[in-house]
Amino acid sequence: MSGLNQVVHVTLINLRNVPRRLGTSLVVVVGIAGVVGVLVSVLAMGEGFRHTLASTGRPTRVIMLRAGSEAEMSSGVARDQAFLLASLPGIARDADGRTLVSAELVVMVDLPRKGETDPNNVPFRGVQPAAFTIRNEATIVEGRRFERGVREVIIGRKAAAQFAGLSVGSHIAFRDSDWTVVGIFASDGDVHESEIWADAEVAMSAFRRSGFQSVTATLADAAESGLQTVKDAVARDRRLSISVIREPEYYAKQASILSKLIGVLGYSVAMFMAIGATFGALNCMYSAIASRQVEIATLRAIGFGGTPVVVSVMLEALLLALLGGSVGGALAYVYCDGATLSTLNFNTFSQVAFDFRVTRGLLVQGLLWALLIGAAGGLLPAIHAARLPVTHALRTG
């Protein structure tokens, strides 16, 4: 009998005996399902956060910050600088010839989550009229836009769902000023849906600010040459100490810190759980071999080689691991994919709402972890089975 036929026969015999060892087999399946479920769920949180910030940027837009600043909260752009930036060559214009530039103020306001009383930092963004043309993905889904010169705000859809008192028609108080919520907006699920928007001039007056945090603009030419035109114009003007960054690059940097932290946390927890699951697999496979040592010895005595025994034991461990990984991945997808969570953005110290994203890549990664655990748990028992002395196994069995 060929080696392949021997592997097939021994493996089939092993798998037929799995129902007799249902308890120990379930230990392997459940343990590995737990590892994969936790790993995929935690990494899905990081993927959701990264995707939310990454989807905010458009390559046709740039954000201009004070030189050396890495986030809007640490930046500052004076009024006269904002005026100069709006007149730079390379900036797009609308049908009426007005530059597509929005100088913006960003501050944090305290709001409790629904059902809670503790305050959370929520981004409050003052925008200029061109903001809605620049960010054409932002659309009103309930109510209307705020009017200029009036203390009215519109709320991002995710912020309205997370925080108390943000329904259309409600009133919220910040810095001794009362604001009316007149609309809810959506922006393709990006980070702006976690913000409150108002007229920039009214916001600056209410928060006693004399300057802006950033300037967002649409490029006339989205190619690299168009971006370089704007950068060169800024570099030539000694009155400006400004860095010009494409939006995707800016928001990718904003997502990096928390995404890395979540990744470290997810892999650390999964590693500790994987160690436990590996010992469970070892115990299961050693028990399986102990219960079948006479059977294995008989096969060896009638001509079956040691290699088919090793391969068959490894295949059984891998199949159990694959089953556990599939269960864990499926549970993570069912319970986590699309779930909304709000967490702190370490760059701005503000709350950002985002959806968990269980991607195909994460599921594949989870299955690879399951197979590694199964291989680690099955290798030693497989070698032990192959080296089991035939006479000793028959005598003790």
- Any domain includes 102: yes
Question: Distance between CA 169 and CA 171 in Å, rounded?
Answer: 7
- Please check whether residues 172 and 197 belong to one and the same domain: yes
Q: Are residues 39 and 107 in the same domain?
A: no
Pair 305, 374 in one domain = yes
Buried b (16+ CB within 10 A) or exposed e, 232-253: ebbeeeeebebbbbbbbebbbe
| CA-to-CA separations, 378 to 16, 17, 177, 211, in angstroms, rounded | 18, 16, 67, 65
Kindly state whether residue 193 falls inside one of the protein's structural domains: yes
pLDDT of residue 353: 66
- The answer to whether residue 60 sits within a structural domain is no
| Tokens coding 144 | 């209307």
Extract the tokens encoding 375: 């291989």
The bridge status of strand 214-218 relative to strand 340-345 is unpaired
227 assigned to some structural domain:
yes
Residue 244 CA to residue 109 CA, distance in Å, equals 27
Taking only the tens of pLDDT, the chain with its 397 residues reads 455 665 565 566 556 665 666 666 777 788 888 888 888 888 888 787 777 776 677 889 999 999 888 888 888 999 999 999 988 899 999 888 889 999 999 998 888 888 888 888 888 999 999 999 999 899 999 999 999 999 999 999 988 988 888 999 999 887 778 899 999 999 888 888 889 999 999 999 988 888 999 999 999 998 999 999 999 999 998 888 899 999 888 887 776 766 677 777 777 877 887 787 777 777 766 666 665 665 666 666 655 555 666 677 777 778 888 888 899 999 999 988 877 766 655 555 556 667 788 889 999 999 998 888 888 877 777 676 666 665 554 455 4
Q: Are residues 202 and 326 in the same domain?
A: no
Same domain, 203 and 264: no
Query: Within 13 Å of residue 277, how many CA atoms lie on the same side as its CB?
Result: 33
Do 369 and 275 meet the contact criterion of CB atoms below 8 Å apart? Answer: no
Tell me whether residue 246 is in a domain: no
Beta bridge partners of 340: 355
Closest CA to 195 of 148, 274, 125, 245: 125
Domain limit, last residue, from 240, 271, 300:
240
Q: Quick check: is 41 in a domain? A: yes
Do 263 and 309 lie in one domain? The reply is: yes
**Whole-angstrom distance, CA of residue 244 vs CA of residue 376:** 50
Number of domains in the chain: 2
Examine the domain organization and report whether 291 and 201 are in the same domain: no
CB contact set of 356 (below 8 Å; sequence gap of 6+): 41, 44, 45, 47, 48, 336, 337, 338, 339, 340, 341
Task: Residue 283: give the domain boundaries.
Answer: 3-54+254-396
125, β-bridge pairs: 106, 197
Out of 240, 272, 307, pick the residue that ends a domain: 240
How many CB atoms within 10 Å of residue 162?
22
Dmax over Cα atoms in the chain, in whole Å? 96
Same domain (yes/no): 154, 283: no
Measured between alpha carbons, how far is 46 from 110 in angstroms, rounded to an integer?
25
Residue 245 domain flag: no
Q: What is the pLDDT of residues 38-80, one digit of tens each?
A: 888 888 887 877 777 766 778 899 999 998 888 888 889 999 9
**Residue 341: CB atoms within 10 Å:** 14
Query: Do 299 and 208 fall into the same domain?
Result: no
Domain assignment present for residue 249? The answer is: no
- Whether 113 and 162 have beta carbons less than 8 Å apart is answered as yes
Tell me, yes or no, whether 75 and 214 share the same domain. yes
My answer on whether 229 and 128 are in the same domain is yes
Structure tokens at 24: 């120990």
Same-domain check for residues 328 and 382: yes
